[in-house]
Amino acid sequence: MKAAQITSYGDAVDVLRINDVDRPAPGAGEVLVRVEASSVNGHDVIVRSGEMKIVSGRRFPLGTGLDFAGVVTGSGTGVEGSRVGERVWGTVHPRQRHIIGGAAEYVVVPADRLAPAPTALSAAEAASLVVAGATALIAVRDTVRLAPGEKVLVRGAAGGVGTAAVQLAHALGCHVTALARARHAPALTDLGADEVLDHGSTTSDRIGPFDVVVDTVGTELNCYRSRLAKGGRMVTVGLSAPALAAIAASSVYGARRVRTFSANPDATVLRALADHVTSGALRPVVNSVHPLACVPHNSAA
């Protein structure tokens, strides 16, 4: 079978290859999925660039692709129920070394890392929502505990996590301010943003205050944290070494510190995500679709 693999750390065109590999076999508690679609996420880019080599190591090849949508074709012992033929979506574990990731023709994952995919979505639409949608859901529901009627700023609102956060906040009845490039304003308004600010001409000191700030960029964290209202909360999913330092330093602000988390969605989160899709609160935003063979030339730099 074919799988996209990282042969060393570097730029996508230089180090991503489509290789022939053996089809994996499911072990105890695992499920084999024929992948129909996978998406490119920020985590994939960070791993491929070498920024996470302390975790991913220096043994190659490495699989790429955190998420997938596809059809169950087999399972190992201990998997309850017959799932063969079921359309599912899920993830591989982000902190484990994988020779085969979601960007492959088949993938094996533990049964508790997938759930039935929403029937109304195509495979590409479903894959576009798995990691991005789950990350947004954990951020607003669990990390900052967004409440109806609050004023929310979504920074980096045009990205995968941002578009999902805008929709989830809108569905909750919040006043949503989206910060993104001006050209994305019509699309973000359509997704539920009450106000769209051009990040190129908007500085943090001229906006707010907000009850909640959802950041997907990972820079200027203290500047945006300062725009919180009394009792406000902030979460970032844009992690880097400077961002981690800023998060640690913000602990002196107590409840108004910058929060973060490890987005590692299991079946429970994926089922909740599917419920939001089914209810109409969340819909996918797909920029472009490419065959597996073109992954090295169409992955984010």
Question: 110 lies in a domain?
Answer: yes
* Among 268, 267, 273, residue whose Cα is nearest residue 168: 273
Looking at residue 297, its pLDDT comes to 78
**One domain, residues 72 and 188:** no
- Rounded to whole angstroms, the Cα distance separating 117 from 127 reads 9
**What share of the chain has pLDDT > 90, as a percent?**
77
Question: 245 lies in a domain?
Answer: yes
Question: 273 lies in a domain?
Answer: no
**One domain, residues 289 and 253:** no
CB 163 within 8 A of CB 285: yes
How many residues are present in the chain?
301
Confidence of residue 35 (pLDDT cuts 50, 70, 90): very high
Question: 31 lies in a domain?
Answer: yes
**One domain, residues 108 and 223:** no
**One domain, residues 140 and 245:** yes
Range of the domain at 202: 129-259
**pLDDT tens readout for residues 135-159:** 999 999 999 999 999 999 999 999 9
Query: Which residue would you say has higher pLDDT here, 55 or 88?
Result: 88
Give the rounded distance of the alpha carbon of 6 from its chain centre: 20
Cβ atoms < 10 Å from Cβ of 237: 26
- Number of structural domains (the chain) is 2
**One domain, residues 73 and 180:** no
The CATH number given to whatever domain includes residue 81 is 3.90.180.10
Question: 58 lies in a domain?
Answer: yes
**One domain, residues 145 and 97:** no
**One domain, residues 158 and 68:** no
The CATH number given to whatever domain includes residue 179 is 3.40.50.720
**One domain, residues 114 and 134:** no
Confidence of residue 260 (pLDDT cuts 50, 70, 90): very high
**pLDDT tens readout for residues 278-295:** 999 999 999 899 999 988
Question: 19 lies in a domain?
Answer: yes
Question: 135 lies in a domain?
Answer: yes
- Rounded to whole angstroms, the Cα distance separating 163 from 38 reads 18
**One domain, residues 139 and 163:** yes
Question: 117 lies in a domain?
Answer: yes
